[in-house]
A and B are shown apart, each in its own frame.
Chain A
Amino acid sequence: MSVRLPKRRTGRLGALKIAGCVGAFLAVSVAAAALTPQVGAQAEKPARAPAEKKREKPKKERPPDPDAPTPEAQLVGASFCSAPACHGAMLKDFSSLRHSHYVSNPKLGDAAGCETCHGPASDHLGDPEHRKIFRFSIQTRENARRINETCIKCHQETVRKPHYESLSHTREGVSCATCHEVHYDLGTPYLLRLPGKDGPAGRPLEERKLKQLLAHARTERQIDGGTEGQPPPVVPPAAGAPAAPAPPAENRPTLEILAKTRVPIAAWRSSFTRDPHVVTKDQAVNEICGSCHRRELSEARGLSHHPLLEGRMGCTACHDPHRSEGGRLTTGRMLSRSSVSETCLQCHQQLRGPFRFEHEPVKSGGIGESCMECHRPHGSPNRGMLVMPTRAVCLQCHVDIQRDPPHQSRTGSCWRANCHTAVHGSNHSREFFFE
């Protein structure tokens, strides 16, 4: 009994409608953005000529951004920053990083050194609150963008600018500096911050690094929250000045400040023991991701799971935290490939096909979620990372099979009764009986 359906087709017209609507909306938004004067960008641009300033329409005065240099700020050179009473201790550590090698390149001219990323520091030197400079330790939305835009100047190959605005991470105020530590040599791959580095899981940093961060975090906390006393006194950069005294123990930075709400990961059985000095790249990536994404981490400890915690693979095998594409584009799963199926096929090439008889959900191309119709990729209480056990996973769609007489005498799962063994697609059987 075959029911012939009326032929309907949206085709090009539907596509043009959608593309037209999106394009029109985009054009209006871009035009509005282009016509809107940049408020927070004066500090990033060089001072304009007087004639150019005259052409600007008078606009409503907004308070200057306290965490950005003014347009008149001047470059002062890194020698001021490295004064012992200021950032000397930090720069000592920083000088052993590859970044310091690049930012001190003479090609950068007067901006070489700290001001390559932090902007001109003359205002910062004279500011009683030690602000007026780009600070990467503050996790606000404005600062997240500022941090990202600073990093993207060199790292455009990794981070594509239109993508990071769309990232869930960006909306949550997560910036490059949330995951990467660019000032201290933690010895981790990709300069990742790592909970438990140089110590057991749960201890953020070794004591020396802790003290350095402590001094820094105390200042940041006073400035950012204003909840812990008055701003620190102004310390003019003087060569040979004694180092600042260690802050009292009660000002020890919280886990939130040190590790940005990171939660340590309890140890798990693994083929690769966790060596605090030489963690594997996968271990470092998994710890940094899992310290926030707790539910996904729990699933990775389920009955069946991808072997992340066993040390055999990392989150970045499937996800690219720098891209917003992939999967359901509207939620931004940050997949490393353009779709769920392409992401899975990277390692499961035997399922690529295409087959003469495709199981439609696997490569549905838009109606379903392809592999994730049946599987939970982080882990599941069921075998095979299935959303439901055995034949129930098939019956979630094929409900009528439950009452189909030929099927009622079968036991076990639909594919293990030597019936529908090629559930991912077959070249020889429409019913997926064999490959």
Chain B
Amino acid sequence: MNAPSRNRPRARRRPRDAGAVLACILLGGPLPASAQGPEPQPPTAAGEATKEKKAPQPQPDLEFTATAGFQDLNRRGSAAEYFRHHSPPQGLYASLVRLLRRDPGGFPLQEVWWRNAGEADQKGYVDLHVRNAPSYLRYSRETAEFFADPGVPFSPFSSREESRVRLHLERFEGKPTPTLDVQVRDQDVAYPFLKRLLPDRGINYRAQEYSIRGTAPVGPGRLYLEPRVISFDNRVGRQQDSHTLELNGELAHPVGRRADLAATFEQISTEVGARDTAVWTTVGLRGVARPTDRLVVEALYRGQTVGLPFTRTSFADRTDLGLVQATAYPFRRGSVTAGVFHQAVSREDRDGAGSTDSSSWNGGLLRVRCSDPGLWSFSARVRFQELADAPAFPRLDTLRAESLYYTQDLSGKARLDLFPTQRLSLYADYGHRTRRNQERDTRVTMNAVTAGAVAQLSDRLTFSAEFSQQFWDGSTAPLRTGPGTPVGAIPLRFYFSDGSLITSSLAYQVDRRSVLDLSFNNFIASGGQRSRDTLALLHFRRNVSPVFYYGIGVQIEGFRESRPDRDYHALPLLLEVGYRRRFK
């Protein structure tokens, strides 16, 4: 779509000081003149107008934002339940500190951003971009405290701390160029008490990950290479440290203008203590072709070999997957996708006789989509697969030798969107999945229905409501065979849990400076798990001036679980005051 290259004036390359560029990336300072390249022009001055004098940009150079908050949780009841997913700040806290330096053109160059500084749950990052290239250095860190297992109510908090560094180097040439990413990830995780692992000391480890990802154009295609090293340092329990080396590569290459090929390779090697090295090797070939404007054909092969030299239990040591599917677009607003696949699985039975058995998945998929933009859209998909020659489990400690694997898997999903008026949108989503083990006559079924509406009641008022219900069911016949009711067995009606959720929200733009958010959520779990979680939230925010703003929020929270009997109630009150200033 670009102009013929012979008509373009050849851009004159200017020498660049690579060291200075790298230093500037690392230090975040301004680029030296020799490294900044030609002065960029705004779009209005492109082409033959590039020689025109650049209009002064009134954008600010520095933007500072600070928000202080105060929150009183007003919690009563189980702390373990209340904090099981997060630890909101309490008392006076620094909600946000942000310093942003913009280019005179207006886009961000360097940024320091820190939410909930010093609190249990906090996030922060430092972004250092350069001006004339999409290169950057990013450092981010986040910490979190929570209750990993509310079943141990008086245990200390669990914690997760994570730091990441990413250095991305890339040049802008107006054409594909090589890129290099150096990434470091450091995780420090501690779950002091898990009921499952008592009396041991829970989970406590540090995992460090180093990776280098390089990509480079290869002809019209592109090569991706990414070696990664993961070091796992276990601090408690009996688990040993491990060292993992991952090698990933992919070559993507077009074939003419209507086909693309990609070849992938992945090898994961893990050393555990002084044992041998376990190796997962995967090779893949993917091709996509568009024989006509209304047909897309895709084929995929993926083969994986697994070597677990010291593992004494069974595992699949080789799998080969082949997939062929085609997508047709018979009319402008619709598409049909159909495909078949075959996956051969070779399994080393180290639990039993040490033999190798073979099984295979065979299946197909169908997807239909059609729409009339602005009025409605509909999509549906079905996927079915069946396991042939399911492996048996001839173990002494199980009563039956039939396969433990599901042998049939059927899943489907349908979604309908309606737009009766310009300000009203309705949607309904249905999902289904059935998994069946024919040899053991067991079945698990899930049905999920979601329906909702969004209405723009006026220019200032938006309302949304949604109902979602998930039903779980299954065949319990095998559990009921035999005389009497098994002693100690849970009643069969408690084998499945259903979940329902009602969500609604109201958003109101009070005036040009003030907004109001109101939302309500009610979740109910029934069946094997019986609990109720209610949340109502009201939040008001106002920009007093371009410099000052404030927000006031109140939540009404309630949670109750029947088995075991645990609950909490909370009425968090939140006040935030913000200051935002732009400097030249």
Q: In the complex the two chains form, is B396's CB within 8 Å of A389's CB?
A: no
Q: How many angstroms between the C-alpha atoms of A432 and B94 in the bound complex?
A: 46
With A36-B291, A411-B488, A427-B239 as contacts: A263 and B425 at CB distance below 8 Å = yes
With A1-B396, A200-B515 as contacts: A267 and B537 at CB distance below 8 Å = yes
Q: Which residues of A contact B315 (CB under 8 A)?
A: 358, 360, 363-365
Q: Is B79 an interface residue (CB 8 A)?
A: no
From B85, B170, B224, B291, A310 is in contact (CB under 8 Å) with B85
From A26, A162, A266, A363, B464 is in contact (CB under 8 Å) with A266
Chain B: which residue is nearest A403 at the CB level?
A: B482
Q: Is A256 an interface residue (CB 8 A)?
A: yes
Q: How many angstroms between the C-alpha atoms of A413 and B108 in the bound complex?
A: 53
Q: How many angstroms between the C-alpha atoms of A227 and B419 in the bound complex?
A: 14
Q: How many angstroms between the C-alpha atoms of A81 and B44 in the bound complex?
A: 8
Q: Is B172 an interface residue (CB 8 A)?
A: yes
Chain A: which residue is nearest B278 at the CB level?
A: A354
Q: Which residues of A contact B43 (CB under 8 A)?
A: 78, 81-82, 91, 94-95, 100, 103-104, 112-114
With A18-B344, A77-B48, A78-B46 as contacts: A111 and B574 at CB distance below 8 Å = no
Considering only residues 35-58 of chain A, those with a C-beta below 8 Å from chain B are: 36, 38-41, 43-44, 46-47
Q: Is A404 an interface residue (CB 8 A)?
A: yes
Q: In the complex the two chains form, is B252's CB within 8 Å of A280's CB?
A: no
Q: In the complex the two chains form, is A101's CB within 8 Å of B103's CB?
A: yes
Chain A: which residue is nearest B485 at the CB level?
A: A408
Q: In the complex the two chains form, is A255's CB within 8 Å of B541's CB?
A: no
From A36, A77, A250, B49 is in contact (CB under 8 Å) with A77
B448 → chain A closest CB, angstroms: 6
Q: In the complex the two chains form, is A157's CB within 8 Å of B179's CB?
A: yes
> What are 19 A-B contacts defined by CB distance under 8 Å?
A1-B394, A5-B353, A9-B346, A15-B303, A26-B289, A104-B40, A106-B11, A106-B41, A108-B8, A110-B8, A118-B1, A171-B335, A294-B468, A312-B121, A350-B203, A356-B312, A366-B304, A367-B405, A410-B488
Q: In the complex the two chains form, is A39's CB within 8 Å of B205's CB?
A: no
Considering only residues 78-132 of chain A, those with a C-beta below 8 Å from chain B are: 78-79, 81-82, 91, 94-98, 100-116, 118-120
Q: How many angstroms between the C-alpha atoms of A398 and B401 in the bound complex?
A: 11
Name the residue in A19, A47, A224 with the highest tally of chain B Cβ atoms < 10 Å from its Cβ: A19
Q: Is A230 an interface residue (CB 8 A)?
A: no
Q: Is B20 an interface residue (CB 8 A)?
A: no
Q: Which residues of A contact B343 (CB under 8 A)?
A: 366
Q: How many angstroms between the C-alpha atoms of A307 and B84 in the bound complex?
A: 9
With A77-B49, A261-B377, A416-B196 as contacts: A104 and B41 at CB distance below 8 Å = yes
The tally of residues in A whose CB lies under 8 Å from a CB in B reads 198
B114 → chain A closest CB, angstroms: 11
Considering only residues 1-42 of chain A, those with a C-beta below 8 Å from chain B are: 1-11, 14-15, 18-19, 21-23, 25-26, 29-30, 32-34, 36, 38-41
Type the 1/0 row for B294-309, where 1 means its CB is closer than 8 Å to any CB of A. 0011111111101010
A213 → chain B closest CB, angstroms: 14
Q: In the complex the two chains form, is A301's CB within 8 Å of B259's CB?
A: no
Q: How many angstroms between the C-alpha atoms of A407 and B200 in the bound complex?
A: 24
Name the residue in A255, A264, A365, A427 with the highest tally of chain B Cβ atoms < 10 Å from its Cβ: A365
Q: Is B184 an interface residue (CB 8 A)?
A: no
Q: How many angstroms between the C-alpha atoms of A94 and B353 in the bound complex?
A: 68
B389 → chain A closest CB, angstroms: 8
Considering only residues 421-478 of chain B, those with a C-beta below 8 Å from chain A are: 422-423, 425, 427, 429, 431, 437, 440, 442, 444, 446, 448, 450, 452, 454, 456, 459-460, 462-464, 466, 468, 470, 472, 474, 478
B86 → chain A closest CB, angstroms: 4
Q: Is B92 an interface residue (CB 8 A)?
A: no
Q: Which residues of A contact B53 (CB under 8 A)?
A: none
Q: In the complex the two chains form, is A162's CB within 8 Å of B260's CB?
A: yes
Q: Is A209 an interface residue (CB 8 A)?
A: no
Type the 1/0 row for B224-253, where 1 means its CB is closer than 8 Å to any CB of A. 100000101010011110101000101010
Considering only residues 241-287 of chain B, those with a C-beta below 8 Å from chain A are: 242, 244, 248, 250, 252, 254-262, 264, 266, 268, 270, 272, 278, 280, 282, 285-287
Q: In the complex the two chains form, is A156's CB within 8 Å of B288's CB?
A: no
Q: In the complex the two chains form, is B501's CB within 8 Å of A298's CB?
A: yes
Q: How many angstroms between the C-alpha atoms of A396 and B374 in the bound complex?
A: 45
Q: Which residues of B contact A162 (CB under 8 A)?
A: 252, 260-262, 286-288
Q: In the complex the two chains form, is B258's CB within 8 Å of A418's CB?
A: no
A8 → chain B closest CB, angstroms: 5
Q: In the complex the two chains form, is A109's CB within 8 Å of B11's CB?
A: yes
Q: Is A161 an interface residue (CB 8 A)?
A: yes
Name the residue in A107, A354, A366, A415 with the highest tally of chain B Cβ atoms < 10 Å from its Cβ: A366
Q: Is B89 an interface residue (CB 8 A)?
A: yes
